[in-house]
Amino acid sequence: MNFTPTELGASIIFAIAVLHTFCSSYFETLAKKSPRHAGLWHLLGEVEIVFGFWAAILIIFMWLANDLATAKEYANKRNFTEPLFVFAIMVVAGSKPILHFATQILYKLGQLLQLVLRTKQAPTLYFLTLSITPLLGSLITEPAAMTLAAFLLRDLVYRHKCSTPLLFGTLGVLFVNISIGGTLTNFAAPPVLMVASTWNWSTAFMFANFGLEATIAIFINATIATLLFQKQLIEPTKKSDHVRIPLTITAIHLLFLLSIVGFAHDPVIFMWLLLFFIGYTTAYPKHQSPLILREALLVGFFLGGLVVLGALQGWWLQPILETMSPTAVFYGSLALTAITDNAALTYLGSLVQGTSPEFKLALVGGAVAGGGLTVIANAPNPAGLAILRSYFPNAAVSAGLLFIAAIPPTIIAILALRLL
């Protein structure tokens, strides 16, 4: 492996950042023990802060190791389209009319399912949220689906007193299902998006190679989770003051959402649309709730840091991928996804020349199958975490418990992708 001192330093900083994500709950504990510096410890305990913080350390390191011009040139050459897109789509998808619209659709489907299967409302809605919403991600993109699902689960599950298995089990299934749910098209999942144009993968190709397998895995995971936790779910209370949002307002919000998705590769356009959307919601506040700007900004900061740190990891990732067989690539990419963003992993894999179709399918298959193992494994994960984190003990999500909870649904995804 050939590497420069800068690349080695960047990999050491990256390793520290990954370790930091597993220690976020420790910093929250320090905040309680040391009130004098509680603000600093709370800051370092925010999972969304980690990679942005260490990306800043990397830029300072590059400045000191080389010069300021080198550090500035490196930062300016990074592509921040994905972090910006996730920020924009989170704000719009998390708006009140969009969430109300999605909730009403799930409630209607739930009523139909209840009539057919004679089930209770809470387990039915829980099942649909963990199955239909991730599949919807193939149309509205995974970040949008994650935002919708997280808000729906917040109201259905997390706002009530939950056991630890329910807290982490639900999150693990959500992360895994969202990761594989965007593979039915060639534009919705970040790891697919990074290679689709290079390898000429169309939506028809994605559906033929991943569609059935991903759908089966998602429904199995959602079914198992529902059967395990149905007795812990609390039935939704019927509100007499049912919220009614005019169809025109909902249609305008959906138009903004679909427009941002349509211009996902054009940051200037979709950020302009976001600013227009913020202006619209300010001008017509009657049917709005506060936009989730803080949560979305934190997630964008996290992903931006991942872009800065991940770009210098190719010196050790690419040689590893080049020496692997397709089967080894699948499991290797699955394991590597746990410690690096799966979109960065597939992008580096796309740089390897002369790879076989089996290699390409194995690389993407492993990357999406392992996308729920950690917060950093898949770009939409921080979005879900930002919405649900406050409902966990000490507002900190244990990376170890999340990893353990995500293993069973990940195994289901592996079996579906490898055997079907």
* Tens digit of each residue's pLDDT (9 = 90 or more) over 9-58: 999 999 998 888 878 778 888 888 888 888 888 888 887 788 899 999 99
Q: In this structure, are 69 and 110 located in the same domain?
A: no
Last-in-domain residue among 24, 53, 76: 76
Q: In this structure, are 249 and 371 located in the same domain?
A: yes
Q: In this structure, are 210 and 64 located in the same domain?
A: no
User: Which of 170, 181, 171 has the alpha carbon at shortest distance from 217?
Assistant: 181
**In this predicted model, what pLDDT tens digit does every residue of 223-271 receive, in sequence order?**
999 999 999 999 887 654 467 889 999 999 999 999 998 898 899 999 9
In the block, tokens 């992708």 appear at 417
With 0-12 / 13-18 / 19 or more C-beta atoms within 10 angstroms meaning exposed / middle / buried, residue 85 is buried
Last-in-domain residue among 76, 103, 132: 76
Last-in-domain residue among 76, 91, 125: 76
Q: In this structure, are 162 and 57 located in the same domain?
A: no
3-class SS string, the chain: CCCCHHHHHHHHHHHHHHHHHCCHHHHHHHHHHCHHHHHHHHHHHCHHHHHHHHHHHHHHHHHHHCCHHHHHHHHHCCCCHHHHHHHHHHHHHCCHHHHHHHHHHHHHHHHHHHHHHCCCHHHHHHHHHHHHHHHHHHHHCHHHHHHHHHHHHHHHHHCCCCCHHHHHHHHHHHHHHHHHHHHHCCCCCHHHHHHHCCCCCCHHHHHHHHHHHHHHHHHHHHHHHHHHHHHHCCCCCCCCCCCCCCHHHHHHHHHHHHHHHHCCCCHHHHHHHHHHHHHHHHHCCCCCCCCCHHHHHHHHHHHHHHHHHHCCCHHHHHHHHHCCCHHHHHHHHHHHHCCCCHHHHHHHHHCCCCCCHHHHHHHHHHHHHCCCCCHHHCCCHHHHHHHHHHHCHHHCCCHHHHHHHHHHHHHHHHHHHHHC
Overall number of domains in the chain: 2
Q: In this structure, are 40 and 111 located in the same domain?
A: no
The identity of residue 309, as a single letter, is: L
In the block, tokens 């800043």 appear at 56
In the block, tokens 């001192």 appear at 5
Q: Give the domain extent around 360.
A: 81-419
pLDDT tens sequence for the chain (420 residues): 788 999 999 999 999 988 888 787 788 888 888 888 888 888 888 877 888 999 999 999 999 999 999 999 999 999 898 889 889 988 998 899 998 888 888 889 999 998 988 889 999 999 999 999 999 989 888 998 999 999 999 999 999 988 999 999 999 999 999 999 999 998 889 899 888 878 999 999 999 999 999 999 999 999 999 999 999 999 887 654 467 889 999 999 999 999 998 898 899 999 999 999 999 999 989 889 899 898 889 888 988 888 898 889 888 888 888 888 999 999 999 999 988 788 888 888 887 777 899 999 999 999 999 999 999 899 899 999 989 999 998 888 888 999 999 999 999 999 999 998
